Chain A
């Protein structure tokens, strides 16, 4: 001991860091990744590879050469965006489309706003929505390539359950097996495959105290209640709660995308408002919009409301009730 350290209190720090939190998010997404690779095979693996590698590389290059400031890829946040983007794409997406998605996600949605902590929109969703608008054919081709298990091409080839409803009305999905959907076999982007895999990730995030449950639960509850009411009134026209909770990106979105720290409200009350907003918007788009799926749009729209929500919702202060 040569020289005593002197600094103000506190003198201890929790073990959580930005890096450990982001790593936990990646770990939480692994079950969904594994399931999608198992069912979609090599092409899916390639998408994950391209997406993660380009997100990380882009952030590295931009911080190092364009912004000339300390490189932030070590905090794993670019990797989170990479995995999330890949989970949002169909298994048939060509590699160069994935790359464009990554450029929009990291280059536009994240870094032009100032990097981690500054972005208004969730980078992965921004990437996905950009691709959805620019390359609709690639983004809605849900043909399922042969995976390592299961048979890729089956009766539902070419359309997601939500797409089928848009096209052929509710009778088109009359014989869907919900048990199947819980485990795998929901048509859709990689991450929409298995509800259970995503829920496992949700539980992990809660247990590790990475996120709080308010946002996710308020989205799911809103979707359930909203669709429940419509379904109760007219079951011939509208899909029911279970269908709406298990199809499309609602689970993926509510667990991994809406809970993004940077682009969601700070307070618990704000989180609930945000979640209800996403739930309502999603259902409005699903029932009445032009697109079969609305989660991504709903989250993006609510992302833009976050500054406003934060302005109105503050935490409860001691002695100021």
Chain B
């Protein structure tokens, strides 16, 4: 039987309209705006000032703590300004504005596309490269990659899981890199496996991407034959079910283990990285290439077939520039999403700059996305059936509306992964996740406060 997670889940139409569009390289704009907050944790601190000349791949900001990341220039040119600019939500964040001049790369970066399959021996040096090249998780959370690859003392990785599920509808960027950069991804996986002490490595891909399963399996087989350090890597096909790519769900599906509430994957011996992160690790370690590019999908049902795209972009390109290049925002689009339709963010400011984790410009029409009026809960239980964490959203909703904090905590609101399955499924259109998200924040604050007091 095909593997999948054991609790809940939903089956939205997968809508992978752009899956056959090859990755195209976007031309350089005249300006880029590079955000200091492209990763989970503290925003990076700029180390350049207006007037400085920079090259592509050069460090322009340094991490501001343990959980933070380096940021590099994605273009060559002159720093125009360092200051606040609005991000996609419309909030101010420090950006480095760079006028693009030519396309000159910093020294030491291998720009050729020759595949380097030999895995360096020195784990410390590998981690240093991953860190210095600003690699962060590209599956959504943008957690600094090197931190995840250093299990805390006493914990040991037993399985590295590469997330190629891409369970969000519409998105196809992971699919495309699995087809077009399969061997690089596998090298990246082997590098991470080596860093983690040579644990079992599983590349999980949903069954609705048979091409990707085939190509990735071939890449694994080929590298296992021709190079050293690739043993113990395999491809696993997973059932198509959302949220198959959720970290906790993937661990359940692949290893049959469940992470405890408020725990970390490493507690059960798991490390999960996205396939795009694996590619970034390859680039960083084998090519000394910092994370300054990524692939995003431009899609939506209101776009004709010839205007669906997968683009390789340089970080800092404004979303509006990408949209314009792709032929403009379609007339019928009522909402633009960055990320998937289930967990992505609605873009308030289309002029915001792309970041490391940008994965899409998804156009949804009003008919697709406008929320219907809320009616009374009919106690159908569909939200609970859908919840992959086994929570009872109807109950959490009731408790949250009455400010019942103890009951919320008892009923595990803090375990919510914000996947949206409950709200998606509710026939009464109750904004379950909106309410649960706020309650979860409150309860986690209470739990943290209690823990701090104990110390």
Chain A residues engaging chain B, CB cutoff 8 angstroms: 1, 4-14, 16-18, 20-21, 72, 75, 77, 115-118, 212, 261-262, 266-267, 314-321
Contact = CB atoms under 8 A, between A and B. Distances in A.
Contacts of A77: 378
A4 B347 contact: yes
B1 interface: no
B428 interface: yes
Contacts of B7: 315-318
A71 B130 CA distance: 60
Which of B336, B381, B415, B429 has most chain A Cβ within 10 Å? B381
Contact of B392 (A18, A118, A314): A314
Contact of B418 (A9, A14, A316): A9
Nearest to B394: A266
Dominant secondary structure of chain A at its interface with chain B = loop
B41 interface: no
Given A7-B346, A267-B381, A318 B371 contact: no
B427 A16 contact: yes
B123 interface: no
B425 interface: yes
Interface of B: 7, 10, 12, 169, 248, 252, 258-261, 263, 329-337, 341-348, 350, 364, 366, 368-372, 375-382, 384-385, 387-392, 394, 411-412, 415, 418, 420, 423-425, 427-429, 433-434, 437
Nearest to B260: A319
A319 B378 CA distance: 28
Dominant secondary structure of chain B at its interface with chain A = loop
Given A9-B433, A12-B369, 17 more contacts: A4-B335, A8-B434, A9-B341, A9-B342, A10-B424, A13-B371, A17-B427, A17-B428, A18-B375, A21-B380, A117-B376, A266-B392, A314-B411, A317-B390, A318-B258, A319-B259, A319-B261
By Cβ-Cβ distance, the 10 closest A-B pairs, closest first, are: A10-B420, A317-B390, A117-B376, A319-B258, A5-B335, A261-B380, A6-B346, A318-B389, A11-B341, A6-B348
Nearest to A22: B378
A13 to B, nearest CB: 6
A315 B391 contact: yes
B12 A5 contact: no
Given A12-B341, A17-B372, A317-B412, A267 B377 contact: no
B379 A117 contact: yes
Given A11-B364, A261-B381, A319 B335 contact: no
B258 A18 contact: no
Nearest to A262: B379
Contacts of A314: 392, 411
Contact of B415 (A1, A17, A266, A318): A318
A203 to B, nearest CB: 19
Contacts of B258: 318-319, 321
A20 B364 CA distance: 23
Contact of A117 (B169, B336, B378, B385): B378
Contact of A315 (B252, B336, B380, B390): B390
Contacts of B335: 4-7, 11
A75 B348 contact: no
A16 B429 CA distance: 10
Contacts of A262: 378-379
B341 A1 contact: no
Given A262-B378, A317-B412, A9 B345 contact: yes
B336 A12 contact: no
Contact of B376 (A17, A118, A267): A118
B344 A11 contact: yes
26 contacts: A1-B332, A4-B350, A5-B370, A6-B335, A8-B434, A9-B341, A10-B341, A10-B420, A10-B433, A11-B342, A14-B10, A16-B382, A18-B427, A77-B378, A115-B376, A266-B381, A266-B384, A267-B381, A315-B384, A315-B390, A315-B392, A317-B391, A318-B248, A318-B252, A319-B258, A320-B412
A318 B429 contact: no
Given A4-B336, A4-B350, A12 B424 contact: yes
Contact of A10 (B329, B343, B366, B389): B343
Contacts of A115: 376
A75 B374 CA distance: 12
Contact of A1 (B333, B342, B382, B418): B333
A246 B273 CA distance: 57
Contacts of B248: 318-319
A315 B390 CA distance: 6
Nearest to A209: B382
Contact of B377 (A12, A20, A117): A117
A118 to B, nearest CB: 7
Given A75-B375, A117-B379, A9 B12 contact: no
A319 B390 CA distance: 9
A12 B347 contact: no
Given A4-B346, A12-B169, A12-B341, A20 B384 contact: no
Contacts of B364: 11-12
A16 B383 CA distance: 12
B334 A12 contact: no
A316 to B, nearest CB: 5
A241 to B, nearest CB: 30
B444 to A, nearest CB: 16
